[in-house]
Amino acid sequence: MTGIHSTAIIDPKAQLDSSVSVGPYSVIGPHIRVGAGTTIGAHCVIEGHTTIGQDNRIFQFNSLGAIPQDKKYAGEPCELVIGDRNTIREFCTFNIGSPGDVGVTRVGDDNWIMAYVHLAHDCQVGNHTIFANNSQLAGHVHVGDWVILGGFTVVHQFVRLGPHSMTAMCALLFADLPPFVMCQGQPAEARSMNFEGLRRRGFSPERISAVKGMHKALYREGLTLDQARTRIDELALDHPEAEPDVQLMSSFLAHTSPQRGIVR
């Protein structure tokens, strides 16, 4: 394995594809699997039961797979699973899961994760997300596809962020952030929908019109959440092309607990 620096310490039981490169002074434990084409920078520590897919770029000074920051954790063999083609910049900390949830912290594919990001135990991150510097996720947070977190965003435990949502810098989330919604503030409040992001992803004018209707129902008409859900369901009749988007929003709102609520 010519890509392994002579100062790296790799447990003989670790399973690294022959094309993996590892930088100076990195430490890789026994229960690690790393797929083809992944590069690991200098001074990284990868431990626990951690699986890393193909073609990831892991920069220097990362800690991946450490035990959760949870006093209830008692050494159970929980996991960290990272998909393919992710970029993980400097000084990130991703913890394994905990027995109090699914036991797995999971990161999908094609995510762009900047420096000093923390993923606590049992976080579930989708695909094509962008986490700006110092984004911090507490335990059990779920992040949908195409979410963008502004720098210094802080997310409370068990909060969910719907697909295509976005936070401004220094946003503080105590409630679920519905799909497509842009938020700002401490605590975060809804400001608009992520229309520009949707256009860049190829959303048609009809689909964007339906998203505007969702925004109006949730934030402009003074409706209760149940009333807004009914109004949103009706949008599929006027915008057939946007039916999957309406279903995405409806499903997300249906799984929001009354105690936590949504960002409004």
The residue annotated as part of the active site, out of 108, 139, 162, 213, is 139
Is the separation of the CB atoms in 246 and 239 below 8 Å?
Answer: yes
Report how far residue 185's alpha carbon sits from residue 170's, in angstroms, rounded to the nearest whole number: 7
122 is catalytic: yes
- Residue carrying the six token digits 């059990």: 140
* Distant-in-sequence, close-in-space partners of 33: CB < 8 Å, separation ≥ 6: 14, 15, 16, 50, 51, 52
* Distant-in-sequence, close-in-space partners of 216: CB < 8 Å, separation ≥ 6: none
10 Å CB burial of residue 72 (0-12, 13-18, 19+) is exposed
The residue annotated as part of the active site, out of 31, 118, 121, 142, is 121
The residue annotated as part of the active site, out of 122, 128, 150, 162, is 122
- Helices 243-254, 225-238: axis angle to 10 degrees equals 160
Sign of CA dihedral 64, 70, 74, 79: negative
Q: In the structure encoding, which two tokens stand for residue 50, read together?
A: 């951690």
121 is catalytic: yes
139 is catalytic: yes
Residues annotated as catalytic are 121-122, 139
